[in-house]
């Protein structure tokens, strides 16, 4: 498998976004977090490539830290 693909591969990205949002509708905060963990594990297994998974984890952490109020601009 090749490296991490970060551009959208969805013909309708808005529909994909809404599907993710709708999956959380009616869930408690704890249930929503549980759904996220399960979804991540299912998709990580689907990817099946540890180096691509690590790239995705690194990118997600970098984006998360960049949103901190004290992050350098």
Cα separation values, 71 from 14, 25, 43, 56, 57, Å: 29, 31, 29, 20, 19
Contact (CB, 8 A) for 32 and 23? no
Does any domain span residue 66?
A: yes
- At residue 72, does pLDDT exceed 70? no
Alpha carbons 70 and 72: distance in angstroms, whole number: 6
Domain count, the chain: 1
Residue at 23 is within a domain: no
Residue-wise pLDDT tens digits, 7-50:
999 999 999 999 999 999 999 999 999 999 999 999 999 999 99
The residues, ordered by sequence, that sit 6+ positions from 24 with a Cβ below 8 Å of its Cβ are 32, 35
Q: Between vectors from CA 62 to CA 61 and to CA 66, what angle results, nearest 5°?
A: 115
Can you give the residue range of the structural domain that contains 38? Answer: 28-73
In a domain, 20, yes or no: no
- Whether 13 is covered by a domain: the verdict is no
Asked whether residue 4 is assigned to any structural domain, the reply reads no
Question: pLDDT category, 70, cuts 50, 70, 90?
Answer: confident
């Amino acid at each position: 498998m090749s490296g991490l693909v970060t551009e959208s591969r969805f013909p309708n990205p808005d529909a994909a976004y809404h599907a993710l949002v709708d999956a959380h509708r009616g869930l408690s905060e704890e249930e929503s977090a549980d759904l996220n963990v399960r979804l991540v594990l299912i998709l990580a297994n689907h990817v099946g490539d540890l180096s691509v998974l690590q790239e995705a984890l690194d990118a997600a952490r970098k984006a998360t830290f960049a949103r901190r109020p004290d992050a350098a601009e």
